[in-house]
C-alpha cells in the first residue's frame, strides 16, 4: 500500500513534478523533477530568485495551473485526476490565498470579502465558524472597518482582510504569494508576524513564496529553489543567513 | 487597420444611424414622387412630402442622438481599458491633450466609415424596397429617381460624422485623468468611480424636468377644453424628458440599485448588482439609450391605445363621425414603433458592447474570483444577472415614463372631443408590453453571451500575475 501524504505528516506534496512552457526550440522549463512536501502546521517559505520556478510551483500546488509531468497531492487527494469543477471546490474549501496585490473583491466591503468563501458554498458560517471569524477580526484589528470597501483601506489593512479571508474557512493550506511585495517594510513585518502567529497559535499550515530574505526569516522552514530544482531545505534561519545562502547560490550558478 | 481595433461597435452604430437616416429619407422621397404623380392628391401634393420629411428628420435626430450617447460611452470605456498604454506614452513625454486628439481622430474616422457604409446600405435598402413594391404592384412603376437623388440624405450623413466625432471627444475626457505614474505603479485597482458632482447639470436637469412636467400637466388640463392642449403638452413633454436625460446620473443609479435587490442576496447576484453600479456614470449612459427607445415606443403605444379608448367612447355617442379610425390608428402605431424601435436597437448595440468591454477590463478580478472558488457556472450567472439588471432597469423606467407621456398625449389631444369621458385611466397595450419584455429578455441573453464566454475562459492564475 502506498504511504499517504497524511502518514508523512504532510499537508501537500509533489512528486517528480515537471513543468515546461512552449515547445521544442522555444521550450522553457520552469520546474525539473521536483519532489517535496509541505509539513502540516508549519509556516514554510519557498525562496528563490526570479525565474527560479517558485511561483509556478505554488500555482500548481494550489490547483491554479496543471503540471507537465509528475504528481500533486493536497492532503490525500491527488489533484492530477481532478477536473475544473473539483479544483474549484478544492480552492473554495481547502485552500486559502493571500496575493501580492489585488487581493480583495473591490465591490464588496470587508465583511463581504471575509465571508465570500462561505457564500460561494451557498451557506452561512456555523456558530463555531462565526466565533472564529470574530476572533480573527479582532486579532487582525478589523472590527471597526467591516463596512469599509477595499479602496478605503491602506495596503496593510487590505492585506489583513485578505489574511482573515484566507484563514476564515480554516483551510488545510494557505498559499501566500509575495504577501509583502506591495507593502512598506514596517507594515510588511506586521503582516509576516500575523502569518507566523496564525501558524504557531492556530496550527495553520502556510506556504509562502518570496524572494525577500527578511520575509523568509519568519518561516519555520525554508525551501530554496533555483532554475526549477530544490537546492536546499533549511529550518528557521535569520535574514542574514538566508541572504548568505542566496548569495552562495548565485555564485555557484 | 490597427487604429480601428476596438471600434467595431462604434462603426456599427454609426453605420446603423446613417443607413436608417438615408433609407428613411429615400423612402420619404419615393413617397413624395408618388404623391406628386397622383392627380387626386394634387392640391396637398406639396405639403405632404414636406411634412413627411420633417417627421423623418425627427426620427433620424432621435436615432443619431441615441447613437451619439452610445458612442461617447464606448469611447470612455475604451479609454479606461487603454489607461496603461496612455500612461506609458505620458511617461515618455506625450501630452494628455495630444493623446485625446489622437482618440478624437479615431472617432472622426469611425464616423466617416460609418457614414460611407450607411449611405450604401441605406440606399440599397430603399431601392430594394421600391423594386419589391413595384413588383408586387403595391405602387405604380414610375420614375422614382427624383426620390433617391434626394439631397436631404446629406443631412444625416454629415450629422453622423459630426456627432460621432463629438462623441469620441466627450468620451475621451477620461484621458486627462490618466497619470504617467499609472504606467509603473503597482496594479492597485483604482477606487470606484465616484459620481462626479455637476451642480450646474443637476440644476438644469431638475429645472427642465419640473418646468416641463408642469407645462405637460397644464397641457392635459387645457386639453379638457381644447385639442390645442396637445401643443402645450408636446412642448412640456420634450422639456421634461430632456431634463430626465440630462439627469440620468441622478435617476438611473437608484433605479439600478432597487432592481439589483430584486435579484436576491446570493453572492453572484450581489456581486452582479455591485458591478452594475461600479461605474454609475457609465451605467447611466449605457441604460439611458434603452430608456429613450422603450419610453418612446411605450408612449406611442399607450397614447394610441388611450386614444382609441376615447374614440370608442366618443363613437358610442356619435358613431357616424368616427368610422374607420381603428385601422388607421393601428397602422400608425406599427409604423411609429418600428421607426422608434430603431433607436432602441442602436442603444442595444451599445449595451452589449459596454458589457463586453467591462468584462475585458475586469480580467484580474475575474481571475481572483476563480481562485477563491467561483465555479465557471457562478461566473456565468453573475455576468447574466449584471446584464439582466441593466436591461430590466432600463425597460422598467422606460415603461413607466412612456405610459405617463403617452397618457398625457392622448389626454391633451382628445380630452375635449365630442362625447369624451373627460379624464381617463391610461390604457396599457399589453401585447406591445409583452413584445418589449420579450425583446428585453432577448437583449439580456445576447448581451451576456460573449462576455460570459470570455469571463469563463479567464484562468484563475491571472489573479496572481504581478502585471
Q: Is residue A251's pLDDT more than 80? A: no
Domain A40-55+82-252 fold: Rossmann fold (3.40.50)
Residues of chain A with Cβ-Cβ distance to B191 below 8 Å are 151-152
Say if residues B129 and B33 touch (Cβ distance below 8 Å): no
Domain that holds residue B26: 1-178
Compare A3 and B194 and report the one with higher pLDDT. Answer: A3
* B160, β-bridge pairs: none
**Alpha-carbon gap: B385 to the closest alpha carbon of chain A (Å):** 15
**Alpha-carbon gap: B277 to the closest alpha carbon of chain A (Å):** 9
Task: Specify if B45 maps to a domain.
Answer: yes
Residues of chain B with Cβ-Cβ distance to A113 below 8 Å are none
The helix/strand/coil state of A113 is helix
Nearest to B189 among A106, A121, A122 (CB): A106
Assess A108–B contact: CB distance below 8 Å, yes or no: yes
Among B280, B230, B274, which Cα is nearest to B252's? B280
Nearest to B278 among A101, A103, A107 (CB): A107
Q: Which of A5-14, B76-85, B160-169 has the lowest mean pLDDT?
A: B76-85
Report the greatest alpha carbon distance in chain B. Answer: 80
Domain boundary among B131, B153, B178: B178
Task: Specify if B308 maps to a domain.
Answer: yes
Average of pLDDT values for A67-93?
88
Count Cβ–Cβ pairs < 8 Å, chain A vs chain B. Answer: 94
**Alpha-carbon gap: A148 to the closest alpha carbon of chain B (Å):** 12
Best B274, B369, B373 member to test A by mutation, with max A CBs in 10 Å, is: B373
Q: Are residues B166 and B264 in the same domain?
A: no
- Out of B123-127, B321-325, B352-356, B456-460, the most confident range is B123-127
The helix/strand/coil state of B194 is coil
Please give the grid coordinates belonging to residue B117.
457604409
Q: pLDDT, tens digit, for every residue of B256-274?
A: 888 888 888 777 888 888 8
* A34, β-bridge pairs: A17
Among B337, B340, B303, B305, which Cα is nearest to B430's? B305
**Alpha-carbon gap: A14 to the closest alpha carbon of chain B (Å):** 19
**Alpha-carbon gap: A95 to the closest alpha carbon of chain B (Å):** 9
Q: Are residues B253 and B352 in the same domain?
A: yes
Q: What is the pLDDT of residue B146?
A: 59
Report how many domains make up chain B: 2
**Number of C-beta neighbours around residue A234 at 10 A:** 16
Q: In A16-126, which residue ranges form alpha helices assigned H by DSSP?
A: 54-61, 84-93, 110-120
Assess A116–B contact: CB distance below 8 Å, yes or no: yes
Q: Are residues B328 and B447 in the same domain?
A: yes
Instruction: Name the A residues in 188-247 with CB < 8 Å from any B CB.
Output: none
Domain boundary among B150, B178, B206: B178
Residue A238's Cβ-side half-sphere holds a number of Cα atoms within 13 Å equal to 3
Q: Are residues B174 and B273 in the same domain?
A: no
Average of pLDDT values for B430-436?
86
What percent of chain A stands above pLDDT 90? 43
Assess A49–B contact: CB distance below 8 Å, yes or no: no
Residues of chain B with Cβ-Cβ distance to A92 below 8 Å are 372-374
**Alpha-carbon gap: B463 to the closest alpha carbon of chain A (Å):** 8
Confidence of residue A49 (pLDDT cuts 50, 70, 90): confident
Assess A177–B contact: CB distance below 8 Å, yes or no: yes
Taking CB atoms and an 8 Å limit, are B267 and A120 in contact across chains? Answer: yes
Q: What is the pLDDT of residue B247?
A: 87
Assess A118–B contact: CB distance below 8 Å, yes or no: no
Average of pLDDT values for A138-166?
89
Taking CB atoms and an 8 Å limit, are B375 and A119 in contact across chains? Answer: no
For CA atoms B395, B400, B405, B408, give the dihedral sign: positive
Q: Which helix (H) or strand (E) holds A71?
A: strand A69-74
Task: Specify if B196 maps to a domain.
Answer: no
In this prediction the ipTM stands at 0.78
Confidence of residue B320 (pLDDT cuts 50, 70, 90): low
Taking CB atoms and an 8 Å limit, are B368 and A116 in contact across chains? Answer: no
Taking CB atoms and an 8 Å limit, are A108 and B271 in contact across chains? Answer: yes
| Residue that the C-alpha cell 509539513 belongs to | A39
Taking CB atoms and an 8 Å limit, are A149 and B189 in contact across chains? Answer: no
Average of pLDDT values for A152-181?
90
* A177, β-bridge pairs: A209
**Alpha-carbon gap: B270 to the closest alpha carbon of chain A (Å):** 9
Taking CB atoms and an 8 Å limit, are B461 and A65 in contact across chains? Answer: yes
Say if residues A95 and A87 touch (Cβ distance below 8 Å): no
Average pLDDT of the residues of chain B: 80
Q: What is the pLDDT of residue A15?
A: 93
Confidence of residue B419 (pLDDT cuts 50, 70, 90): low
Assess A122–B contact: CB distance below 8 Å, yes or no: yes
Which residue on chain A is closest to B275 by alpha carbon? A107
Average of pLDDT values for B385-393?
90
Q: How far apart (Å, rounded) are the C-alpha atoms in residues B360 and B363? A: 6
Q: How far apart (Å, rounded) are the C-alpha atoms in residues B338 and B67? A: 17
Please give the grid coordinates belonging to residue B314.
366618443
Taking CB atoms and an 8 Å limit, are B267 and A116 in contact across chains? Answer: yes
Q: Is residue B1's pLDDT more than 60? A: no
Please give the grid coordinates belonging to residue B459.
484562468
Q: What is the pLDDT of residue A225?
A: 92
Confidence of residue B183 (pLDDT cuts 50, 70, 90): low
Domain boundary among B178, B197, B228: B178
Q: Are residues B257 and B164 in the same domain?
A: no
Residues of chain B with Cβ-Cβ distance to A171 below 8 Å are none
Taking CB atoms and an 8 Å limit, are A122 and B372 in contact across chains? Answer: no
Confidence of residue B192 (pLDDT cuts 50, 70, 90): very low
Confidence of residue A14 (pLDDT cuts 50, 70, 90): very high
Q: Are residues B328 and B421 in the same domain?
A: yes
Confidence of residue A37 (pLDDT cuts 50, 70, 90): very high
Q: What is the pLDDT of residue B3?
A: 60
Average of pLDDT values for A163-185?
89
Residues of chain A with Cβ-Cβ distance to B371 below 8 Å are 62, 64, 91, 97
The helix/strand/coil state of A115 is helix
Residues of chain B with Cβ-Cβ distance to A165 below 8 Å are 372
Say if residues B460 and A64 touch (Cβ distance below 8 Å): yes
Confidence of residue A218 (pLDDT cuts 50, 70, 90): very high
- CA dist list (Å): A177 to A46, A101, A180, B286: 10, 9, 9, 38
What ranges make up the beta strands (E) of chain A? 10-21, 28-39, 43-47, 69-74, 77-78, 95-98, 173-177, 206-210, 221-226, 229-235
Q: How far apart (Å, rounded) are the C-alpha atoms in residues B293 and B345? A: 8
Confidence of residue B86 (pLDDT cuts 50, 70, 90): confident
Residues of chain A with Cβ-Cβ distance to B184 below 8 Å are none
Q: What is the pLDDT of residue B186?
A: 44
Phi and psi at residue B311, in whole multiples of 5°?
Answer: -60, -45
Average of pLDDT values for B15-19?
92
Q: What is the pLDDT of residue B188?
A: 42
Best B189, B192, B256, B371 member to test A by mutation, with max A CBs in 10 Å, is: B371
Taking CB atoms and an 8 Å limit, are B266 and A122 in contact across chains? Answer: yes
Q: How far apart (Å, rounded) are the C-alpha atoms in residues B115 and B16? A: 9
**Alpha-carbon gap: A162 to the closest alpha carbon of chain B (Å):** 11
CA angle (B411 as vertex; B409, B412 as ends), nearest 5: 70
Task: Specify if B51 maps to a domain.
Answer: yes
Task: Specify if B229 maps to a domain.
Answer: no
Assess A113–B contact: CB distance below 8 Å, yes or no: no
Q: How far apart (Å, rounded) are the C-alpha atoms in residues B95 and B233? A: 49
Q: How far apart (Å, rounded) are the C-alpha atoms in residues B220 and B274? A: 40
Q: What is the pLDDT of residue B319?
A: 64
At CB < 8 Å, which residues of chain B contact A? 186-192, 266-267, 270-271, 274-275, 278, 364-365, 368-376, 378, 459-461, 463-464, 466
Taking CB atoms and an 8 Å limit, are B373 and A151 in contact across chains? Answer: no
Task: Specify if B152 maps to a domain.
Answer: yes
Q: pLDDT, tens digit, for every residue of B335-372?
A: 777 887 888 888 888 888 888 877 877 887 888 888 88
Amino acid at each position: 500500500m502506498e504511504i499517504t501524504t497524511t502518514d508523512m505528516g504532510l499537508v501537500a506534496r509533489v512528486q517528480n513534478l515537471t513543468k515546461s512552457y512552449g515547445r521544442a526550440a522555444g521550450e522553457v522549463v520552469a520546474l525539473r523533477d521536483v519532489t517535496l512536501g509541505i509539513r502540516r502546521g508549519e509556516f514554510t517559505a519557498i525562496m528563490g530568485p526570479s525565474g527560479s520556478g517558485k511561483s509556478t510551483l505554488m500555482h500548481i500546488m494550489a490547483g491554479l495551473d496543471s503540471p507537465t509531468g509528475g504528481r500533486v497531492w493536497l492532503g490525500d487527494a491527488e489533484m492530477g485526476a481532478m477536473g475544473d469543477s473539483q479544483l474549484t471546490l478544492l480552492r473554495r474549501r481547502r485552500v486559502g490565498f493571500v496575493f501580492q496585490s489585488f487581493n480583495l473583491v473591490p465591490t464588496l466591503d470587508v465583511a463581504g470579502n471575509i465571508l465570500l468563501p462561505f457564500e460561494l458554498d451557498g451557506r452561512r458560517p456555523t456558530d463555531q465558524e462565526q466565533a472564529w471569524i470574530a476572533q480573527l477580526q479582532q486579532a487582525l484589528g478589523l472590527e471597526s472597518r467591516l463596512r469599509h470597501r477595499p479602496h478605503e483601506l491602506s495596503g496593510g489593512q487590505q492585506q489583513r482582510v485578505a489574511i482573515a479571508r484566507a484563514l476564515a474557512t480554516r483551510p488545510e493550506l494557505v498559499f501566500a504569494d509575495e504577501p509583502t511585495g506591495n507593502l512598506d517594510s514596517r507594515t510588511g513585518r506586521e503582516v509576516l508576524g500575523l502569518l507566523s502567529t496564525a501558524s504557531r497559535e492556530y496550527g495553520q499550515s502556510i506556504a509562502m513564496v518570496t524572494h525577500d530574505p527578511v520575509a523568509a526569516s519568519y518561516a519555520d522552514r525554508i525551501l530554496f529553489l533555483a532554475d526549477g530544482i530544490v537546492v536546499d531545505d533549511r529550518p528557521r534561519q535569520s535574514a542574514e543567513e538566508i541572504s548568505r545562502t542566496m548569495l552562495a547560490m548565485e555564485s555557484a550558478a | 487597420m490597427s487604429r480601428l481595433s476596438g471600434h467595431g461597435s462604434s462603426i456599427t452604430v454609426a453605420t446603423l444611424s446613417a443607413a436608417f437616416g438615408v433609407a428613411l429619407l429615400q423612402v420619404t422621397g419615393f413617397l413624395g414622387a408618388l404623391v406628386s404623380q397622383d392627380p387626386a392628391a394634387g392640391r396637398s401634393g406639396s405639403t405632404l412630402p414636406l411634412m413627411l420629411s420633417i417627421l423623418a428628420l425627427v426620427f433620424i435626430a432621435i436615432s443619431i442622438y441615441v447613437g451619439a450617447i452610445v458612442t461617447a460611452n464606448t469611447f470612455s470605456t475604451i479609454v479606461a481599458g487603454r489607461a496603461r498604454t496612455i500612461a506609458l506614452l505620458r511617461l515618455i513625454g506625450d501630452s494628455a491633450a495630444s493623446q485625446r486628439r489622437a482618440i478624437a481622430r479615431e472617432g472622426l474616422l469611425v464616423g466617416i466609415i460609418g457614414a460611407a457604409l450607411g449611405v450604401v446600405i441605406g440606399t440599397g435598402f430603399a431601392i430594394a424596397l421600391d423594386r419589391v413594391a413595384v413588383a408586387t404592384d403595391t405602387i405604380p412603376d414610375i420614375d422614382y429617381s427624383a426620390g433617391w437623388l434626394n439631397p436631404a440624405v446629406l443631412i444625416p450623413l454629415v450629422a453622423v460624422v459630426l456627432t460621432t466625432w463629438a462623441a469620441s471627444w466627450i468620451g475621451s475626457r477620461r484621458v486627462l485623468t490618466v497619470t504617467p505614474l499609472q504606467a509603473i505603479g503597482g496594479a492597485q485597482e483604482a477606487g470606484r468611480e465616484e459620481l462626479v458632482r455637476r451642480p450646474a447639470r443637476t440644476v438644469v436637469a431638475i429645472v427642465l424636468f419640473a418646468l416641463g412636467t408642469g407645462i405637460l400637466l397644464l397641457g392635459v388640463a387645457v386639453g379638457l377644453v381644447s385639442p390645442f392642449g396637445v401643443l402645450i403638452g408636446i412642448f412640456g413633454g420634450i422639456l421634461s424628458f430632456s431634463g430626465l436625460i440630462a439627469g440620468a446620473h441622478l435617476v438611473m443609479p437608484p433605479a439600478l440599485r432597487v432592481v439589483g435587490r430584486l435579484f436576491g442576496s446570493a453572492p453572484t447576484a450581489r456581486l452582479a448588482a455591485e458591478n452594475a453600479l461600479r461605474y454609475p456614470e457609465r451605467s447611466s449612459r449605457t441604460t439611458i439609450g434603452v430608456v429613450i427607445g422603450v419610453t418612446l415606443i411605450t408612449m406611442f403605444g399607450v397614447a394610441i391605445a388611450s386614444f382609441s379608448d376615447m374614440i370608442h367612447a366618443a363613437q358610442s355617442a356619435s358613431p357616424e363621425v368616427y368610422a374607420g379610425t381603428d385601422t388607421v390608428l393601428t397602422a400608425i402605431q406599427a409604423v411609429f414603433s418600428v421607426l422608434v424601435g430603431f433607436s432602441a436597437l442602436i442603444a442595444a448595440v451599445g449595451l452589449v458592447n459596454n458589457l463586453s468591454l467591462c468584462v475585458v477590463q475586469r480580467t484580474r478580478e475575474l481571475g481572483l474570483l476563480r481562485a477563491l472558488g467561483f465555479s465557471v457556472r457562478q461566473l456565468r450567472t453573475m455576468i447574466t444577472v449584471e446584464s439582466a439588471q441593466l436591461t430590466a432597469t432600463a425597460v422598467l423606467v422606460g415603461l413607466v415614463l412612456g405610459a405617463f407621456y403617452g397618457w398625457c398625449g392622448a389626454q391633451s389631444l382628445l380630452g375635449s372631443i365630442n362625447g369624451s369621458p373627460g379624464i381617463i385611466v391610461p390604457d396599457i397595450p399589453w401585447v406591445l408590453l409583452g413584445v418589449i419584455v420579450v425583446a428585453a429578455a432577448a437583449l439580456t441573453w445576447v448581451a451576456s453571451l460573449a462576455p460570459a464566454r470570455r469571463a469563463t475562459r479567464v484562468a484563475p492564475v491571472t489573479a496572481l500575475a504581478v502585471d
